[in-house]
Structure 1
Amino acid sequence: MKFNKYILFAILAAVLYAVSTPISKLILDTLSPVYIASLLYLGAGIGMGIIAIIRKKMQITSYKPFTSKELPAIIGMIILDVIAPILLMIGLSTSQPENAALLNNFEIVATSLFAVFLFKEVITKRLWLAIFFVTTASFLLSFGDLDAFKFSTGSLFVILAALSWGLENNLTRMLSLNDPLMVVVIKGLFSGLGSLMIALILSEVIFDFQYILLTLLLGFVAYGLSIFLYVTAQKELGASKTSAFYAFAPFVGAFISLVIFLDVPQITFYPAVILMGIGSFYASTSGKKSLKIKGEANEKTN
């Protein structure tokens, strides 16, 4: 079987992102959700910006330059990248971290459905099966106590974050011919500054430099390098396919969370893991290319 480096990039992106959930949960004891969201993206933007400067001195890269045509996608991407991490941090603050980590897999569903209904892309039958299993698992995780049949508010915020990132993934797909490194820099700096302004308005900014540096570093790894690898992989694999490989992240995040916090998972966690695993399998084996934007094939050959 021929080695596909873009699949490796997608898996590495997932692993790097996986560490963000348990570590963010720890940081939430000191910093607010909005403040953490801002620092995560600023860490990504600053870190990748430094790499971009170093790369520019070492070599000349050839990518399609940004034009006014990409502006709507860029603005939408920035707005959604302000909203999504804030929703995730709010959800994480009131959820078990292993549940929140697994619920991140709902991004597969969101990305695929937005791709189909808004961007007129085509997905395979196996990916529809993946959507079914992941949605069912997300439902189980959202109702931790089935006897009381009480929906978890924290789970709702995590799912809303996944929906926001699902739409954002499709907007980022429109920038796949542009320099992925600069896409991450734009994401990080502008989304981070947007969240920081909200944190300032809410008077949530504190100067605990140890936690600030930790969160910036986490942002560089989990949102900078991870997103860079994700966008690079997405150029070849497509939005839904890349998101499918990204499904490894929640399982890694859930495992790390269980090790760090020594939580006893709720009874629904175990069947949800199985269903998520089945869904991830179907998603990652759904064909050569899960979807394709109309006209994309011609655009890539130019």
Structure 2
Amino acid sequence: MKVSESTRGVLYILAAAFFFGSAAPLAKLLLTNIAPVTLASLLYMGSGLFFAGYWLMRRTFFPANHAREAPVERCDLPWMAGSALFGSILATITLMVSLQYTPAATAAVLLGFEAVATTLVATLIFHEQVGNRIWLALACITASCAVLTWDPTSPFGFSLGALGIILTCFFWGADTNISRHVSGKDPIQLVSVKGISGGITLTVIALILGQPYPEPPLILAGMVVGILGFGGIMTVCFLKSLRVLGASRAGALFSTNPIFGVIVSLLIFRELPEPGFIIAFFFMGVGTWLLVSEKHSHLHTHEPLRHSHRHTHDDLHHDDHIHGPEAPPVDKNGFHSHPHWHKQEEHEHPHRPDLHHRHKH
């Protein structure tokens, strides 16, 4: 049975949520022996080097597989630079510092606020359309985070560590919306460039701050966590989902990551949840359900468009374009990648703001 692109996108984002949710408490565990900026550099350097090696191996020994994804072009570089700045550098440094002052289970749920941050950036800056159902869901998630950030003993009434994680979510929300502009390109190449560039920058910052590097086993552990949950497999899955679901929907489904983070946190740290945790987790669950079950359909117009990305020809958008002799053959699942044109078209069907539905409403 062939899996639809929409279903495939949901599965990819749930996999990304699993890897990220599991990696956050592991990063907190490593922070007991590794300085925060040093750990941030290891996370991204590990993912960058691993996937750069994979990209070179695929290009050398499996050229047919390599050609199925659209390569990065010069016009993509500004978007990639912005993604590295907000996602690899600013967000990771802020998170590593904040995790030192926040219980692991609480941090795991707070990271669900990324759905709110991503949607706010998507609607206010990139004008992505969302409905009342999504805003209600985001209100539930915001309520959940407000319960967890409240700290009557703090001079400001809120835990600074928790507020740092909220700021991290806004950085990642910006990263997600920037990344959607290159989500149609080869995710392995994107993760390689983002990881290495972010890792080098973070290494320089760590050295300037005088933060030491630990023993080789801990260096390896930090890099493995990065390969799995920060710049690595998680990001590859996220980018593949982003091209299908759009920024706000992908960010919304990604908000399920606290479920995995809480489970791993309880297994590692044996921490009993704070009094407000159950209430916060309930609001987070309601918000996530509203987001996952959202549907959207209306008559819409596609403007003429030329782009390059991995696609198949049995959908509603790639069944009529012409192939020249330079177009690569399709794989066993009917996919290939090459530059192609879309003519203007008007139709109605259920859709999300993917590569072909970033239209105005």
1:255-298 per-residue CA deviation (whole Å, 9 max, x = no partner) reads 21122211122111110000000111111122258xx9x96977
Letter in 1 for 2:21: A
Q: What corresponds to 2:134 in structure 1?
A: 127
Q: Is there any run of 5+ residues in structure 1 with no aligned partner, and where?
A: none
1:38 pairs with 2:41: yes
Q: Is 2:240 aligned against 1:232?
A: yes
Does residue 16 of the first structure (1) align with residue 19 of the second (2)? yes
Aligned position for 1:140: 147
How many corresponding residue pairs? Answer: 299
Give the secondary-structure state (helix, strand or coil) at the position aligned to 2:33. Answer: coil
The structure with more radius of gyration: 2
Structure 1 position 170 matched with structure 2 position 173: no
After TM superposition, the structure 1 stretch with the greater mean CA deviation from structure 2, 66-75 or 18-27, is 66-75
Residue 218 of structure 2 corresponds to residue 211 of structure 1: yes
Aligned to 1:116: 123
Q: In the superposition, relative to structure 1, how do residues 297 and 240 fare at CA in structure 2: closer, same or farther (>3 Å)? A: farther
In structure 2, relative to structure 1, the CA distance for the partners of 1:63 and 1:165 (3 Å cut) is: same
Range 57-66 or range 266-275, more displaced: 57-66
Matched, 1:71 2:77: yes
SS at match of 2:178: helix
Aligned partners of 1:296, 1:156: CA distance in 2, in Å?
A: 43
User: Do 2:128 and 2:248's aligned partners in 1 also have CA atoms closer than 8 Å?
Assistant: no
Residues 184 and 145 from structure 1, CA distance in 2 versus in 1: closer, same or farther, beyond 3 angstroms? same
The answer to which of 218-227 and 42-51 deviates more is 42-51
User: Residue 199 of structure 1 aligns with which residue?
Assistant: 206
Find the aligned partners of 1:115 and 1:22 in 2 and give their Cα distance. Answer: 28
Please list, as runs of the form range in 1=range in 2, the aligned pairs for 1:47-126 lying within 5 A after superposition: 47-56=50-59, 57-58=61-62, 59=64, 60-80=66-86, 81-126=88-133
> Cα offset for 1:89?
0.9
Are the equivalent residues in 2 in contact too, given 1:143–1:149 (CA < 8 A)? no
Secondary structure at the counterpart of residue 182 of structure 2:
coil
* Partner SS state of residue 104, structure 1: helix
2:254 counterpart of 1:251:
no
Deviation at 1:18, TM superposition (A): 1.4
**Which is richer in strand?**
2
CA contact (8 A) 2:98 2:164 kept: yes
1:163-203 deviation per Cα after TM superposition (whole angstroms, max 9, x unaligned): 00000000000001211111111111111111111101011
Q: Report how far residue 144 of structure 1 moved.
A: 4.3
Q: 1:219 to 1:140 in 2, by over 3 A?
A: same
With the length of structure 2 as denominator, give the TM-score of the two structures. Answer: 0.78
Check 1:174–1:279 CA distance in 2 against 1; reply closer, same or farther (3 A cut).
Answer: same
TM superposition shift of 1:19: 1.5
One-letter amino acid matched to 1:117: L
Which moves more between the two structures, 258-267 or 39-48?
A: 258-267
Q: Residue 186 of structure 2 corresponds to which residue in structure 1?
A: 179
Bigger mean CA offset, 2-11 vs 74-83: 2-11
Cα deviation, 1:55-100, whole Å, max 9, x if unaligned, reads 2221332444433432321111111120101111111100001111
Task: Specify the code of the residue in structure 1 equivalent to 2:237.
Answer: L
Aligned partners of 2:179 and 2:303: how far apart in 1?
16
| C-alpha contact (below 8 Å) 2:72/2:189 kept by paired residues | no
Residue 6 of structure 1: which of 9, 21, 26 is its match? 9
Q: CA RMSD in A?
A: 2.3
Contact 1:64-1:177 at 8 Å conserved across structures: yes
| Unpaired runs of at least 5, structure 2 | 310-316, 318-340, 342-361
Higher helix share: 1
Give per-residue Cα distances to partners, 1:17-56, cap 9 Å, x unaligned.
1121111111111001111111111111111112212222
TM-score (structure 1 length as normaliser): 0.92
Are the equivalent residues in 2 in contact too, given 1:79–1:191 (CA < 8 A)?
A: yes
